[in-house]
Amino acid sequence: MTWEEMRPLLEQGTIDTLYMVLWSTVVTVIGGLPLGVLLVLTDKGGLLQNRPVNKVIGAIVNIGRSLPFIILLVALIPVTTLVVGTFIGPTAMIVPLSIGAIPFFARLVETAIREVDHGLVEAVQSMGGGIPTIVGKVLLPQALPSLIAALTTTVITLISYSALAGAVGGEGLGSKVITYGYQRFETGFMLITVVLLIVIVTVVQLLGDLAVRLLARRGRTA
Amino acid sequence: MITTKGLTKVYESRGRQVTALDGVDLHVREGEVFGVIGQSGAGKSSLIRCVNLLERPTSGTVTVDGTDLTALAGRGRRAGKDLRRARSRIGMVFQHFNLLSSRTVKDNIELPLEILGVAGAERSRRALELLDLVGLADKAKSYPGQLSGGQKQRVGIARALAGNPKVLLSDEATSALDPETTRSILQLLRDLNRQLGLTVLLITHEMDVVKQICDSAALMKRGRVVESGTVAELLATPGSELARELFPVTGDASADDRTVIDVTFHGEAATQPVISQLSRTYNIDISILGAAMDTVGGRQIGRMRIELPGRYEENVVPVGFLREQGLQVEVIGEEPQRPAQGLVKEIAK
Q: Contacts of residue B90 in chain A, CB cutoff 8 Å?
A: 126
Mean pLDDT estimate for chain A: 91
* Strand ordering across the sheet containing B299-309: B287-296, B299-309, B258-265, B328-332
pLDDT at A220: 52
The answer to whether the CB atoms of A127 and B78 lie below 8 A apart is no
Contact B288, B305 (CB under 8 A): yes
pLDDT at B163 over 70: yes
pLDDT at B344 over 70: no
Q: What is the CATH T-level fold of the domain B2-236, as seen in this structure?
A: Rossmann fold (3.40.50)
pTM: 0.84
What values do phi and psi take at B301, rounded to 5? -130, 150
Across the interface, which of B54, B91, B115 has its CB nearest the CB of A133?
B115
Q: Contacts of residue A122 in chain B, CB cutoff 8 Å?
A: 54, 94, 98
Interface membership of B67 toward A (CB under 8 Å): no
How many angstroms separate the CA atoms of A61 and A54, rounded? 11
Residue A81 lies in a domain: yes
Q: Which residue range(s) make up the domain with A140?
A: 3-217
Rounded-to-10 torsion of CA A22, A39, A149, A118: 150
When pLDDT is cut at 50, 70 and 90, the band that residue B348 belongs to is: very low
Across the interface, which of A126, A131, A220 has its CB nearest the CB of B54?
A126
Q: Contacts of residue A218 in chain B, CB cutoff 8 Å?
A: 101-102, 143, 145
Q: B346 exposed, middle or buried (CB, 10 Å; 0-12, 13-18, 19+)?
A: exposed
The answer to whether the CB atoms of A127 and B146 lie below 8 A apart is no
Interface membership of B115 toward A (CB under 8 Å): yes
The interface pTM score, or ipTM, of the predicted complex is: 0.84
Residue A222 lies in a domain: no
How many angstroms separate the CA atoms of B274 and B269, rounded? 9
pLDDT at A221: 45
For helices B149-161 and B179-196, angle between their N-to-C axes, nearest 10 degrees:
20
CA-nearest residue to B115 within chain A is A129
Q: Which of B88-92, B131-135, B312-316 has the least mean pLDDT? A: B312-316
H runs (alpha helix) in chain B:
44-51, 69-73, 81-87, 105-116, 120-133, 149-161, 179-196, 207-213, 231-236, 241-246, 274-282, 316-324, 338-348
Query: Per-residue pLDDT tens for A132-149?
Result: 999 999 999 999 999 999
- The strand pairing partners of B258, in sequence order, are B309
When pLDDT is cut at 50, 70 and 90, the band that residue B297 belongs to is: low
Q: Pick the residue of A48, A127, A142 with the most B CBs within 10 A to test the interface with B by mutation.
A: A127
The answer to whether the CB atoms of A122 and B85 lie below 8 A apart is no
- Compute the average pLDDT of residues B219-241: 88
Kindly list the distances between the CA atom of residue B75 and the CA atoms of A191, B11, B52, B78, B135, in Å, as whole numbers in the listed order.
Answer: 65, 17, 15, 9, 42
The answer to whether the CB atoms of A138 and B100 lie below 8 A apart is yes
How many angstroms separate the CA atoms of B274 and B328, rounded? 12
When pLDDT is cut at 50, 70 and 90, the band that residue B167 belongs to is: very high
Domain count, chain A: 1
Buried b (16+ CB within 10 A) or exposed e, B284-293: eebeebebbe
> Strand B216-221 and strand B33-37: pairing?
parallel
Q: Pick the residue of B102, B110, B143 with the most A CBs within 10 A to test the interface with A by mutation.
A: B102
> Strand B224-230 and strand B216-221: pairing?
antiparallel
For helices B105-116 and B120-133, angle between their N-to-C axes, nearest 10 degrees:
130
Q: B327 exposed, middle or buried (CB, 10 Å; 0-12, 13-18, 19+)?
A: buried
Look at residue B307 and give its three-state secondary structure.
strand
Look at residue B135 and give its three-state secondary structure.
coil
Kindly list the distances between the CA atom of residue A171 and the CA atoms of A158, A198, B57, in Å, as whole numbers in the listed order.
Answer: 14, 18, 61
When pLDDT is cut at 50, 70 and 90, the band that residue B40 belongs to is: confident
Residue A36 lies in a domain: yes
- Compute the average pLDDT of residues A189-195: 90
Domain residue ranges of chain B, discontinuous segments joined by +: 2-236, 247-338
How many angstroms separate the CA atoms of B64 and B57, rounded? 15
Can you give the CATH number for the domain in which A10 is found? Answer: 1.10.3720.10
How many angstroms separate the CA atoms of B222 and B220, rounded? 7
Work out how many CB contacts closer than 8 A connect A with B: 79
The answer to whether the CB atoms of A48 and B78 lie below 8 A apart is yes
- Compute the average pLDDT of residues B248-273: 80
| The domain made up of B247-338 is a member of CATH 3.30.70.260 | yes
Contact A106, A99 (CB under 8 A): no
Name the nearest CA neighbour of B109 among B92, B131, B91, B87. B131
Kindly list the distances between the CA atom of residue A14 and the CA atoms of A9, A203, B163, B222, in Å, as whole numbers in the listed order.
Answer: 8, 14, 55, 68
Residue type, A182: Y
Chain B nearest-CA distance from A58, in A, is 22
When pLDDT is cut at 50, 70 and 90, the band that residue B179 belongs to is: very high
- The strand pairing partners of A24, in sequence order, are none
Q: Pick the residue of A126, A134, A218 with the most B CBs within 10 A to test the interface with B by mutation.
A: A126
- The kind and range of the H/E element at A65 are helix A51-66
Chain A interface, Cβ < 8 Å to B: 47-49, 117, 119-120, 122-131, 133, 137-138, 141-142, 144, 215, 218-222
Number of C-alpha atoms within 13 angstroms, CB side, residue A120? 23
pLDDT at B184 over 50: yes
Contact B174, B204 (CB under 8 A): yes
Interface membership of B169 toward A (CB under 8 Å): yes
- The kind and range of the H/E element at A166 are none
Kindly list the distances between the CA atom of residue A17 and the CA atoms of A93, A165, B182, B188, B311, in Å, as whole numbers in the listed order.
Answer: 10, 10, 59, 60, 100
Contact B249, B291 (CB under 8 A): yes
